[in-house]
Chains A and B, each alone.
Chain A
Amino acid sequence: MRIVDDGTAKLVMHPARFNILHCLNKASEPLFVEQIAEAVKEHPRLVSHHLDILQEKGLVDCKYEIANVKDSSRGVAVRLCSPTPKLTEVLNEIAEAVEEVK
């Protein structure tokens, strides 16, 4: 399996990273760090750290945009994150591997 060979599967198996990926995969639109942190009940700085790693592995796509956060009167620059096609591929491969083990 490719994801096992290049070490992606092992990195994804970290509990916090897996939760973040699951959250991003389920969301219908890109989420920013605060939203992910709220969903996975982690500190935003910790989420940022994991997003850096996931972005480096090409599992998450991040870009900065201006958005209205928590009833703010003017826009704030946020880091919007969305899953990449590689993530879907990786999650499918993990699911397949789990099925095989079963």
Chain B
Amino acid sequence: MAKIALTKELKRFYLTFRLWLFSLVGVLILSAFLGTALLFFIPLTARYALVFVYLLFVEIMAYHFVHLIAGTTGQIVSNFRYNRKHKPTEYYLENRSQIAKRLGMEYDKPIYLTDNPSVTGPFTNLFSGTIYFPSFMIDELHLTENAATFGHELAHIKYRFRYVREVVLASLVTWAFAFLLAYFAIIPTVYAIAQFAFMMLVLSFVMRRNEYLADWASAKATTPEALISVLEYFRAKCKGNGSSITHPSFQGRRKRLELLFDSDR
């Protein structure tokens, strides 16, 4: 028995270590890319139109980036401060293990409920593999809908290594783009910022794709109806289309889930 527990612990340690390793590689590559941005400013031909397009990119992506960083930092600080005063409570979801089984994995960690007002939706800590739900969701949504949300978050945990790999790959693509762009650059600053914008664009694609994947996996493990219902609920609550650099719009996600209605699942 002790041997099995040890093996399990070792496996968990290995998986966490692997995730950290991938993150480290990602950071190293990103640093290399930023370094190249400063080195390769070779002013060649005047490509004003191209620069204009890049500037548009920059404006959109910088806005999203600032939003993402400010939002995430705010949430981490707020969580830390709030959780010190009010400990998140555990939530027992009846069919938790069945959903995990259908996703082809095991999940033995608790789901936490938080009353923190800055937490407006469920989220997953990819490093610890724990899932947090805002407590209003449990009151306002049905059990099947909460199960679908759990399935979505669980899918993020299932595909976390793949996600990290894709982020690293996206950084590599951006790096390659840096070399390509060096030939068209007029002003070094524009060049550096354009690379950054392109990186955000690629990362946004990866992150959004990851959301679609989690939706699809959850709908397969539970039902697409329940997940669509959750999306509709959040659409009404947020009074927006829910689109951000990390998440596609509610409408887009719904359309993809509706495709599962006609398939044999």
Binding site for B on A (CB under 8 A): 7, 10-11, 13-16, 43, 45-46, 48-50, 52-53, 56
27 A-B pairs with C-beta separation under 8 A: A10-B139, A10-B140, A11-B141, A11-B142, A14-B141, A14-B236, A15-B232, A15-B233, A15-B235, A15-B236, A16-B229, A43-B258, A43-B261, A45-B224, A45-B261, A46-B225, A46-B228, A46-B229, A48-B225, A49-B144, A49-B223, A49-B225, A49-B226, A50-B229, A52-B144, A53-B144, A56-B142
Q: Chain B: how many interface residues by the 8 Å CB criterion? A: 17
Chain B interface helix/strand/loop/mixed: helix
Contacts of A50 in B (CB 8 A): 229
Is there contact, CB below 8 Å, between A14 and B258? no
Distance in Å: Cβ of B223 to nearest Cβ of chain A? 7
User: How many Cβ-Cβ contacts under 8 Å join chain A to chain B?
Assistant: 38
With CB as the reference atom, state the residue of chain A lying closest to B225: A49
Distance in Å: Cβ of A89 to nearest Cβ of chain B? 20
Binding site for A on B (CB under 8 A): 139-142, 144, 223-226, 228-229, 232-233, 235-236, 258, 261
Distance in Å: Cβ of A25 to nearest Cβ of chain B? 20
Distance in Å: Cβ of B218 to nearest Cβ of chain A? 15
With CB as the reference atom, state the residue of chain A lying closest to B258: A43
**With A and B bound together, what is the CA distance between A102 and B226 in angstroms?**
33
Contacts of B225 in A (CB 8 A): 45-46, 48-49
With CB as the reference atom, state the residue of chain A lying closest to B261: A45
Contacts of A45 in B (CB 8 A): 224-225, 261
Is there contact, CB below 8 Å, between A53 and B142? yes
**With A and B bound together, what is the CA distance between A48 and B224 in angstroms?**
12
**With A and B bound together, what is the CA distance between A38 and B228 in angstroms?**
18
**With A and B bound together, what is the CA distance between A34 and B86 in angstroms?**
47
Contacts of A14 in B (CB 8 A): 140-141, 229, 232-233, 236
Other-chain residue from A7, A15, A16 in contact with B139 (beta carbon distance below 8 A): A7
